[in-house]
Copies of this chain bind each other. A is one copy, B any other.
Amino acid sequence: MKKDGNTSSGRDHELEEYVNFLKFQSISAKHANIRETAEYLRDLLRNLGAESSLMETDGHPVVYGNLNLGKERTLLVYNHYDVQPVDPLDEWNHDPFSAEMEGGRIYARGSSDNKGTLMARYFGIKRALDANEIGVNIKFLYEGEEEIGSPSLEKFIEKNRGILKSDAVIMEGSTLGEGGRPIISLGVKGLLYVEIEDEVAKSDMHSSYSAIVPNPAWNIILPLSNLYNGQEVTMPGFYESVRELTEDEEKILESYPFDPDSFSRPFGLKYLKHKGKSDLVRWLFTKPTMNIDGFLSGYVQEGSKTITPRKAMAKLDFRLVPDQDPRKIFALLENQLRSRGFKGKIKPLGMEYPVRTSPVSKLAVAMTESARSVYGKEPIIMINSPGTQPMALFTRNLGIEEAVSAIGVGDQNSRAHVPDESIAVENYFLAIEHTKAFLKSFR
């Protein structure tokens, strides 16, 4: 019997393979289980009939696949097989790598971001092939370093322009929004991730000396606090290259559904920084940010210990909008910190350019229409996602004109990057079907 996704044995197989994939502990920040995961995916692509191989980078390998069907145009499918770290582990109610099922959901680190989406697209393409309803060649690029900021992807793309040449790209990272409506993002915010560290001594010092010894936590806090006011970044020149919205984009922004209460509830969030849907949506999609991801210095356990710490460390991320340039923003930051006397290390850990694709492009239109038909709901469109993917490496560096982020398995309860990440199993199968329907109309 032919293994077809529309039969129940086909669905069993599609689910089983997803579970297999989730059990790989492919945490890129810890360099864990990376190669085994990549080899597993290479074999999967070969099963589909694609030429596939692991391609080495300066970091983790890329899984590349080429399904040449002799069509005129080529679609590049980008996903990543790495996942975020799992700490704090004690806040998980389900083992992060056992793929436990409960109440119609499957729990695992990566279940939503990005293993579920990768696997759903894979089986959507398989169904399209089996039904012979596919009008483009497909290239696959599965990355292993997305969650650490894709440090090797740019060089990889530069080196492999020829084999990656395509006409359109679908990125990872889409999810389902309010009411199960599929989200289509026509771009991404960019990112600059920076680690700042100051070490003033080899050992902590008794704080009775704090009048004369430098404090590395203050050394970081004081210059940083001049660059942000709680709402806006106050570095001169930071907003200089921000692009204005077109009329189509303004309409998309206005139609974006956002309910502050349903947004806040899953996080147990006490309040939002802005009032009213319209302001919140405008800030979320159109404003660049300066966020503190982490800060550590000195004694942080219970009670009091009177020391001046020997060292302090801060992690920051900037979410950038078109046409801000992360390299220029890094230079701006470095310049600001140095001019305020900061002597420690300032290390960029990740840079991504922002992207915004036209809402009237072929790709955007085919994706929107197939989503509407499969889900029976109006898709939620974003002029660009508030988050980041290395979309610009495809548009900017490969010269691909059409890029969207769409077809995802996560929903609003999926908790990507935090404990108890999960998806509804049914959404996995809908994403498979959406992929198939999209391929039927996209040329």
A residues in contact (CB < 8 Å) with B: 29-30, 84-85, 87, 91, 147-149, 189, 191, 193, 195, 199-215, 217-219, 221-222, 224-226, 228-230, 266-274, 280, 283-284, 287-289, 291-310, 312-313, 315, 317, 319, 349-350, 385-388, 415-419
CB-CB nearest in chain B for A228 = B218
In the complex, chain B residues whose CB is within 8 Å of the CB of A350: 304
Q: Which residues of B contact A87 (CB under 8 A)?
A: 301
Given contacts A205-B269, A306-B317, is CB(A217)–CB(B292) below 8 Å? Answer: yes
Contact between chains at B298 and A294 (CB < 8 Å): yes
Q: Can you name 9 A-B residue pairings with CB atoms under 8 Å?
A: A193-B306, A201-B267, A211-B287, A211-B386, A214-B270, A225-B226, A295-B298, A295-B312, A305-B315
Q: Do A225 and B215 have beta carbons less than 8 Å apart? A: no
Residues of B within 8 A of A228 (CB): 218, 222
Of B230, B274, B294, which contacts A305 at CB under 8 A? B294
Give the residue name and chain of the B residue nearest to A307 (CB).
B293
Q: Which residue of B lies closest to A313 (CB)?
A: B300
Q: Is the CB of A206 within 8 A of B293?
A: no
Cβ–Cβ contact A294 & B299, under 8 A: yes
Q: Assuming A221-B292, A300-B313, A416-B206, is B214 touching A271 (CB within 8 A)?
A: yes
Q: Which of B213, B224, B272, B291 contacts A215 (CB 8 A)?
A: B291
* Complex Cα–Cα for A265 and B328 (A): 39
Q: Kindly list chain B residues whose C-beta atoms are within 8 Å of the C-beta of A309.
A: 292-294
Q: How far is the CA of A280 from the CA of B214 in the complex (A)?
A: 12
> Which residues does chain B contribute within 8 Å of A293, judged by CB atoms?
207, 298-299, 304-309
Question: Which residues of B sit under 8 angstroms from A305, Cβ to Cβ?
Answer: 29, 84-85, 147, 293-294, 315, 417
Whether the pair B283, A212 counts as a contact (CB closer than 8 A) is: yes
| Shortest beta-carbon distance from A116 to chain B in Å | 16
A385 to B30 Cα, complex, angstroms? 47
| A273 lies within 8 A of B84 (CB) | no
* Chain B residues, Cβ within 8 Å of A202: 267-269
Q: Is the CB of B230 within 8 A of A415?
A: no
Q: Please give, as numbers and ranges, the residues of chain B lying within 8 Å of A417 by CB-CB distance.
A: 204, 206, 305-307
Q: Give the contacting residue for A349; candidates B191, B203, B303; CB below 8 A.
A: B303
Instruction: Indicate if the CB atoms of A304 and B315 lie closer than 8 Å.
Output: yes
With a CB–CB cut-off of 8 A, which chain B residues contact A416?
206
Taking the closest CB of chain B, its distance from the CB of A176, in whole angstroms, is 16
Contacts of A226 in B (CB 8 A): 225
CA distance A215 to B270 in the complex (A): 11
Within the complex, the shortest CB–CB distance from A317 to chain B, in Å, comes to: 5
Distance in angstroms between the alpha carbons of A215 and B273 in the assembled complex: 9
Whether B148 pairs with A303 at a CB distance below 8 angstroms is yes
CA distance A68 to B195 in the complex (A): 62
By beta carbon, the residue of chain B nearest A300 is: B296
| A205 closest partner in B (C-beta) | B267
Q: How far is the CB of A60 from chain B (nearest CB, A)?
A: 13
Residue of B nearest to A274 (CB): B212
CA A206 to CA B173, docked complex, whole Å: 13
Q: Assess the B208–A415 pair: CB atoms within 8 A.
A: no
- Whether B317 pairs with A349 at a CB distance below 8 angstroms is no
Closest 4 CB pairs of A and B: A202-B268, A225-B225, A208-B387, A294-B298
Measured CA separation A304–B317 after assembly (Å) = 9
Q: Once the chains bind, are B85 and A200 in contact (CB under 8 Å)? A: no
Residues from chain B with a CB closer than 8 A to the CB of A419 are: 203
Q: Are B297 and A294 within 8 A (Cβ)?
A: yes
Interface contact B212-A280, CB-CB below 8 Å:
yes
